[in-house]
Amino acid sequence: MKERPYASCLKAIANDLRIQTLRALEEKPCSVQELCKIVRGEQSKVSHALQILRHCNFVEVHTEGRQRIYSLNPKVRDGLKLSKKRSSANLFHFLDHHMSACCDNQCERMH
């Protein structure tokens, strides 16, 4: 049995700014400018964090007028809800769901 790439997936979120970004997007979709205000980060750093999170399919983006609006991938949101409902919820349940439903090992290819 091939071991899942937990380390690669964790690297994608193992950063304070990326975690803050995910938490903000868990609340509501945001533009980069809105995220910069929420996480108190520079635009270049927030954009880079979003690039990594998009690559691993943690977030999605769509365009509204001239703005790009980022949101938590619905499958990631489902994984969070599933993990919160389980009495034995843990990080590995969430990561298993993410890798199966969302990322298709994109995290592993990134590193």
pTM of the model: 0.74
Closest C-alpha among 111, 88, 102, 86 to residue 10: 111
**Sequence spans of domains, the chain:** 13-72, 74-103
Q: Residue 83: is its pLDDT beyond 70?
A: no
The answer to whether residues 40 and 17 touch, using CB atoms and an 8 Å cutoff, is no
Specify whether domain 13-72 bears CATH 3.30.950.10.
Answer: no
pLDDT of 111 strictly over 60: no
Confidence grade of residue 107 (pLDDT, cut at 50, 70, 90):
low
Q: Which residues pair with 71 in a beta bridge?
A: 60
pLDDT by residue (tens digit) across 7-66? 777 888 889 999 899 989 989 999 999 999 999 999 999 999 999 999 888 999 999 999
